[in-house]
């Protein structure tokens, strides 16, 4: 049965279906590609907590209504509030969002996310931290944050460095779009199910009466395929990615890609260089450092660090690239941002350091994550 489950004046941004021991949460802002509003985030937190405390619930299924799973956090809402002088609204928004991502990452019951369509930014935070992620031939996945004057957050500094080789640095810095087959190959997805089989998968999952991840995985496997990677897939370029994206600085990454381009007439290398040169220089420097630090940290430490960086980005003391990126990509859509500083060499190491420090604001405090208990082994491993 579908329940009306919203705390947003009757417009149901999260729908709930209860079938036996399974709770299905449906993101329901299809015209906005299920972009996460503050109301959706607080409602999801409420639902996840209630289901975790209910011994009758064995499993969560998360999916999106329409052609997207979730296109990320509502950047336009954050932009408008901060532009009116209220950067703390943005801080409150991501505090709730990162708390939700942490709950998902440390959830005591399996979560199956059905990624049938667009999954970007905050949509990855909601799904990749969960136990099972089902991609399809319709899946389009990206974290385009560096083109927006942001950086890959929502715990991406935890999951990107854990992808094979330096593929996470590649995906995070360039904002590369990956399809379902690529998500499966690199580990962002755990299964690939052709979209025509999703109704049958849904029927099978609705009958689940266990939290045993092996049983649930076996059910999803019955409907799964191993898709072929397309000929031009970046996943076929792992040798070049590892050679170039393992470099210590953004400048060295770009210069090693330019060397590869001299020896190798490959459109993919040229478009990768272009993506990096179009991105915010400040964002690139912050993003590389964040992903590198995340290699050695648990999910909680990654989210706490990302919260600090996001607060500095929203406050805009060193660079206002987030406002310019939002203006150019989301608001005016001229796709021609004017970054400031405009070049990598104008950004010093201590400028980058500032983003990783505590805010000098007496009302500000570090992200405080909730205590978690009864964690399954795969969640404990993330801490």
Q: Quick one: pLDDT at residue 165?
A: 98
Give the sheet arrangement for strand 14-19, strand by strand: 2-3, 14-19, 22-27, 59-64, 111-115, 132-135, 191-192
3-state per-residue secondary structure call for 66-126: CCEEECCECHHHHHHHHHCCCHHHHHHHHHHHHHHHHHHHCCCCCEEEEECCEEECHHHHH
For residues 115 and 183, is the Cβ–Cβ distance under 8 A?
yes
Neighbour count for residue 303 (Cβ, 10 Å): 28
**Whole-number Å distance between alpha carbons of 234 and 179:** 11
Q: Quick one: pLDDT at residue 2?
A: 38
Q: Quick one: pLDDT at residue 11?
A: 54
Which of 145, 169, 182, 324 is catalytic? The answer is 145
Q: What is the pLDDT along the chain (383 residues), one digit of tens a residue?
A: 434 344 444 359 999 999 999 999 999 999 999 999 999 999 999 999 999 999 999 999 999 999 999 999 998 899 999 889 899 999 999 999 999 999 999 999 999 999 999 999 999 999 999 999 999 999 999 999 999 999 999 999 999 999 999 999 999 999 999 999 999 999 999 999 999 999 999 999 999 999 999 999 999 999 999 999 999 999 999 999 999 999 999 999 999 999 999 988 899 999 999 999 999 999 999 999 999 999 999 999 999 999 999 999 999 999 999 999 999 998 999 999 999 999 999 999 999 999 999 999 999 999 999 999 889 898 999 99
Which of 73, 123, 130, 175 is catalytic? The answer is 73
**Whole-number Å distance between alpha carbons of 255 and 187:** 28
Neighbour count for residue 351 (Cβ, 10 Å): 15
Residue 36 carries which DSSP code?
A: B
How would you classify residue 190: left for phi > 0, otherwise alpha for psi between -120 and 50, otherwise beta? alpha
Q: Quick one: pLDDT at residue 150?
A: 97
Q: How far is CA 133 from CA 4, 189, 222, 290, 338, in A?
A: 26, 5, 15, 24, 37
Tokens of 158: 């935890």
- What fold does the segment set 14-356 form as a domain? 2-enoyl-CoA Hydratase; Chain A, domain 1 (3.90.226)
**Whole-number Å distance between alpha carbons of 108 and 131:** 10
74 backbone dihedrals φ, ψ, rounded to 5°:
-75, 85
- pTM, two decimals, is 0.96
Q: How far is CA 286 from CA 28, 236, 282, 304, in A?
A: 33, 27, 6, 15
Neighbour count for residue 273 (Cβ, 10 Å): 19
Alpha helices in 327-376 (DSSP H): 349-355
Which of 12, 74, 101, 153 is catalytic? The answer is 153
Per the DSSP assignment, residues forming a β-bridge with 16 are: 3, 25
Residue 145 bears catalytic tag: yes
Q: Is the dihedral of CA 165, 312, 324, 277 positive or negative?
A: negative
3-state per-residue secondary structure call for 290-331: HHHHHCCCCHHHHHHHHHHHHHHHHHCCCCCHHHHHHHHHHH
Alpha helices in the chain (DSSP H): 38-52, 75-83, 87-105, 122-128, 156-159, 167-174, 180-186, 198-206, 213-221, 238-245, 250-263, 267-278, 281-294, 299-315, 321-326, 349-355, 377-380
For residues 70 and 44, is the Cβ–Cβ distance under 8 A?
no
**Whole-number Å distance between alpha carbons of 167 and 245:** 8
Residue 153 bears catalytic tag: yes
Which of 64, 72, 117, 122 is catalytic? The answer is 122
Residue 122 bears catalytic tag: yes
């Amino acid at each position: 049965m579908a329940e009306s489950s919203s705390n947003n004046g009757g417009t149901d941004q999260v729908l709930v279906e209860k079938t036996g021991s399974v709770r299905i949460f449906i993101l329901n802002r299809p015209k906005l590609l299920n972009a996460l509003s503050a109301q959706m985030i607080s409602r999801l937190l409420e639902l996840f907590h209630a289901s975790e405390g209910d011994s009758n619930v064995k499993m969560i299924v998360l999916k999106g209504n329409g052609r997207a799973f979730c296109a990320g956090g509502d950047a336009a809402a954050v932009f408008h509030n901060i532009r009116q002088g209220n950067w703390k609204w943005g801080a409150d928004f991501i505090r709730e969002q990162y708390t939700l991502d942490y709950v998902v990452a440390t959830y005591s019951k399996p979560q199956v996310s059905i990624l049938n369509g667009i999954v970007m930014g905050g949509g990855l935070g909601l799904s990749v931290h969960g136990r099972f992620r089902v991609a399809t031939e319709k899946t389009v996945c990206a974290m385009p944050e560096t083109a927006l004057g942001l950086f890959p957050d929502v715990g991406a500094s935890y999951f990107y460095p854990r992808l094979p080789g330096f593929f996470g640095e590649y995906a995070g810095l360039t904002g590369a779009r990956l399809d379902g087959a690529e998500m499966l190959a690199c580990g962002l997805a755990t299964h690939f199910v052709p979209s025509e089989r999703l109704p049958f998968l849904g029927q099978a999952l609705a009958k689940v009466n266990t939290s045993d991840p092996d049983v649930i995985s076996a059910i999803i496997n019955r409907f799964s395929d191993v898709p072929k990677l397309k000929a031009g897939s970046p996943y076929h370029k792992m040798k070049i990615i590892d050679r170039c994206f393992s470099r210590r600085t953004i400048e060295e990454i770009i210069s090693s890609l330019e060397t590869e381009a001299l020896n190798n007439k490959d459109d993919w290398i040229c478009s990768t260089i272009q993506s990096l040169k179009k991105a915010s220089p400040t964002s690139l420097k912050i993003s590389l450092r964040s992903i590198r630090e995340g290699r050695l940290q648990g999910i909680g430490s990654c989210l706490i660090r990302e919260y600090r960086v996001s607060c500095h980005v929203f406050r805009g003391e060193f660079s206002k690239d987030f406002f310019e990126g939002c203006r150019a990509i989301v608001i005016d859509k001229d796709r021609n941002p004017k970054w400031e500083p405009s070049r990598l060499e104008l950004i010093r190491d201590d400028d980058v350091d500032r983003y990783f420090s505590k805010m000098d604001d007496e009302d500000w405090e570090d992200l405080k994550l909730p205590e978690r208990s009864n964690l399954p082994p795969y969640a404990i491993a993330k801490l």
